[in-house]
Amino acid sequence: MTIEAENKEIETTIRETAKKLLSENQVDVIIGYSQGTIPLSSTPIIIRKEEQVDKLIWDNLCYINIARYLAPLMPQLCDSEGNPLKIGIVAKGCVGRAVNMLAAEKQINIENIKMIGFNCNGIVNRSRINIEIGEKEILEVSVSGDEIIVKGKDWEQKLPYGEYINELCKVCQVKIPSSTEATCLGECQTLESIHDEFADIDDFESKTTEEKWDYIKKELEVCTLCYSCRQACPVCYCNLCFVDQNMPIWFNKTTQYTDIFTFHLIRAQHLAGRCVACGACSSVCPVGIDLNFITRKLEKIVKERFDYTSGLNAETVPPMMDFNMEDAQEFMLEED
């Protein structure tokens, strides 16, 4: 089956399931994707009526992790008496992982959520395409066969789909939401663990300490501290982020490298064991920084040390929020 045929089938299933959930009053609203207003984009949408389901779409440009809208929106999505509404959410694998993480961290009530699960077939790497096209204006992007077709005024360029999807999509082991039938309709699965070889960071890990530092510095020095990565992240839900605190002030908000590095270092530590590998942070970066080399390295460390993968269920909290008496404590020194 071609990619566009897969997308059409997924889209039809999403709309039919959404209509069923709304008509049977299993949910009050549906959070999903709709057509973007500019090329290489889609936009989130919240629908409340059956006749609106045709606005829901799926294609390989649905890069936003829409679980991002659950934590801040959940308190507002209430009826006239203040009772929480039941929410349906269109869920590829990483969205499902994010929903589970938010539930495990007590940010949402999973009983009020219904995931519309499907088998994700990958997300187009927007930054790579923009770099490839250069200064030419993109007017239309589509997928046909195994190619991404990019069009502008009086020009057209075809790119191989397999090469121009996100690197995380190439190694993703959770393309379908991991959930129970109680909280997921459509394609769902129950996972206790996954095998991940982290082959996508082999090149980074093969570098010397000095080479790693040079690589990180080169990648991050173009950052403008716009905080788009934070805003897109489904598990960055703090009401007051550490960068916005002024009592105390943790660091200055300049584009000096020390401030840039401090922000990304602290944010990465906050994501240790919590990142759901959706790549939303890299997808929204206006200067094309691929932050996944940092978060994937932390994901590997957590997997090796604690045998933990984030978001496989809605009950298990991440290692930094839990402990076992058997945990390794080599960082503690015992006096003679």
pTM: 0.92
pLDDT score at 268: 92
The answer to whether the CB of 17 falls within 8 A of the CB of 5 is no
Q: Give the pairing type, strands 184-186 and 155-160.
A: unpaired
43: left (phi over 0), alpha (psi -120 to 50) or beta: beta
Rounded to 10 degrees, what is the CA torsion of 137, 68, 70, 296? Answer: 150
Report the distance separating Cα 321 and Cα 317, nearest Å: 6
pLDDT score at 331: 64
Cβ of 148: how many Cβ atoms within 10 Å?
A: 26
Question: CA triplet 286, 292, 294: central angle to 5 degrees?
Answer: 115
pLDDT in tens, the chain (336 residues): 889 999 999 999 999 999 999 999 999 999 999 999 988 899 999 999 999 999 999 999 999 999 999 987 777 778 778 788 899 999 999 999 999 999 999 999 999 999 999 999 999 998 889 888 988 999 999 998 889 999 999 999 999 998 999 999 999 999 999 998 889 999 999 999 999 889 889 999 999 999 999 999 999 999 999 999 999 999 999 888 888 888 787 777 888 899 999 999 999 999 999 999 999 999 999 998 989 888 999 999 999 989 999 999 999 999 888 877 777 776 665 555
Among positive and negative, which fits the CA dihedral 185, 103, 322, 199? positive
User: What own/partner pairs with CB < 8 Å and gap ≥ 24 does 154-159 have?
Assistant: 157/132, 157/133, 159/129, 159/132
